């Protein structure tokens, strides 16, 4: 019987994993949260939308006879990761987290690490007046109390408006030259972002280093305990095909 693998996706790594598994003797279902209006779709079978918490996911995994789950969601999708860890543990299903490595500062970087968006807003009080905000359109309300100019970039237009705000829509990868031009055009003096990792959006950090700008960067939430984690698509394929996954 062909094994069934659920890939919790929405990231470039999830799409690459689905493509790599296309030639294997597996049924691969990629699940997208549905928060982006026009997402990039992976190859193969796709479902869109939430599961309804741990209970809903548990039922869905049982109904679809899933043999293994790979969580390749965004590193900050902690609620989904926690739900998947609990549901698979209850059912005895193999579970793997695929996370790209986080970013590491280099000489010349002026990074200010924070553990929450509220802390980011506090730190931002004294760092600059023209902010490049790239934490995601759903996080804007946290910064609403600050009397600053915000250059906000997101894939879809935000529903929330800040007092002084300019929105630019875009999806990576971005170039260093393009980011430097953007920062200079809007006279940005501080960057706020999350430790998403990977190369798709890292150019803004290089641009900030080049311009000598401070960066407020939000640490990743911790993974649930006793979870197996890999940092690359080949490792995830190895786990699935020849390791403790669906192989």
119: domain CATH number is 3.40.50.720
- Given a cut of 70, whether residue 4 has pLDDT beyond it is yes
Q: What is the pLDDT of residue 2?
A: 73
Q: What is the pLDDT of residue 89?
A: 96
Q: Compute the average pLDDT of residues 113-126.
A: 96
Distance between CA 191 and CA 68 in Å, rounded? 39
Distance between CA 15 and CA 247 in Å, rounded? 20
Q: Are residues 117 and 214 in the same domain?
A: yes
Report the candidate in 244, 237, 245, 241 with the shortest Cα–Cα distance to residue 19.
237
Q: Are residues 234 and 171 in the same domain?
A: no
**Count: domains in the chain:** 2
Please, are residues 124 and 216 in contact by the beta-carbon 8 Å criterion?
Answer: yes
- Given a cut of 90, whether residue 194 has pLDDT beyond it is yes
Q: Are residues 233 and 209 in the same domain?
A: no
pLDDT > 90 fraction of the chain, expressed in percent and rounded: 78
Q: What is the pLDDT of residue 172?
A: 81
Q: Are residues 128 and 209 in the same domain?
A: yes
Residues 147-180 pLDDT 10s: 999 999 988 888 878 889 999 998 888 999 999 9
Q: Are residues 85 and 96 in the same domain?
A: yes
Residues 13-62 pLDDT 10s: 999 999 999 888 899 999 998 666 667 788 889 999 889 999 999 999 99
Q: Are residues 235 and 135 in the same domain?
A: no
Give 215's pLDDT tier (boundaries 50, 70, 90). Answer: very high
Q: Are residues 71 and 138 in the same domain?
A: no
Please, are residues 195 and 120 in contact by the beta-carbon 8 Å criterion?
Answer: no
Is 238 a domain residue? Answer: yes
Strands (E), 59-178: 68-71, 94-98, 110-114, 130-133, 149-154, 164-169
Token pair, residue 67, equals: 């043999």
Q: Can you say whether the dihedral through the CA atoms of 158, 54, 196, 224 is positive or negative?
A: positive
Is 247 a domain residue? Answer: no
Q: What is the mean pLDDT of the chain?
A: 92
- Given a cut of 90, whether residue 111 has pLDDT beyond it is yes
Is 94 a domain residue? Answer: yes
Backbone angles phi, psi at 16, to 5 degrees: -65, -40
pTM: 0.88
Is 166 a domain residue? Answer: yes
Q: Are residues 44 and 67 in the same domain?
A: yes
Is 142 a domain residue? Answer: yes
Q: Are residues 167 and 228 in the same domain?
A: no
Please, are residues 83 and 97 in contact by the beta-carbon 8 Å criterion?
Answer: no
Q: Are residues 150 and 78 in the same domain?
A: no
DSSP 205-224: HHHHHHHT-EEEEEPPPPPP
Is 199 a domain residue? Answer: yes
Token pair, residue 140, equals: 């804007």
C-beta neighbour count of 244 within 10 angstroms = 12
Q: What is the pLDDT of residue 244?
A: 62
Q: Are residues 186 and 88 in the same domain?
A: no
Task: Identify how many contiguous H helices and E strands the chain contains and give both numbers.
Answer: 7, 12
Backbone angles phi, psi at 89, to 5 degrees: -65, -40
Q: What is the pLDDT of residue 247?
A: 59
Q: What is the pLDDT of residue 1?
A: 61
Q: Are residues 66 and 80 in the same domain?
A: yes
Q: Compute the average pLDDT of residues 81-85.
A: 96
Owning domain of residue 114: 110-218
Burial of 185 (0-12, 13-18, 19+ CB in 10 A): exposed
Burial 77-105 (b: 16+ CB within 10 A, else e): beebbbbbbbbbeeeebbbbbbbbeebee
Is 62 a domain residue? Answer: yes
Most confident of 8-12, 61-65, 195-199: 61-65
């Amino acid at each position: 019987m062909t094994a069934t693998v659920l890939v919790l996706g929405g990231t470039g790594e999830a799409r690459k994993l689905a493509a790599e598994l296309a030639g294997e003797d597996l049924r691969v279902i990629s699940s997208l949260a549905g928060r982006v209006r026009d997402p990039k779709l992976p190859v193969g079978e796709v479902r869109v939308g939430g599961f309804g918490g741990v209970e809903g996911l548990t039922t869905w995994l049982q109904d679809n006879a899933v043999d293994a789950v790979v969580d390749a969601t965004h590193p900050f999708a902690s609620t989904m990761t926690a739900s998947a860890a609990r549901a698979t543990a209850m059912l005895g299903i193999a579970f793997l987290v695929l996370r790209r490595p986080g970013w590491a500062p280099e000489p010349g970087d002026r990074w200010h690490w924070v553990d929450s968006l509220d802390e980011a807003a506090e730190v931002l009080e004294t760092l600059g007046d023209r902010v490049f905000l790239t934490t995601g359109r759903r996080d804007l309300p946290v910064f609403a109390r600050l009397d600053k100019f915000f250059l906000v970039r997101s894939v879809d237009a935000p529903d929330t408006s800040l007092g002084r705000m300019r929105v630019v829509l875009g999806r990576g990868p971005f170039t260093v030259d393009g980011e430097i031009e953007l920062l200079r055009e809007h006279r940005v003096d501080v960057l706020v972002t999350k430790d998403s990792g990977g190369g798709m959006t890292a150019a803004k950090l290089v641009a900030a280093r080049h311009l000598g700008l401070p960066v407020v960067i939000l640490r990743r939430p911790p993974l649930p305990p006793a979870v197996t984690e890999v940092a690359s698509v080949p490792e995830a394929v190895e786990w699935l095909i020849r390791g403790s996954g669906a192989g």
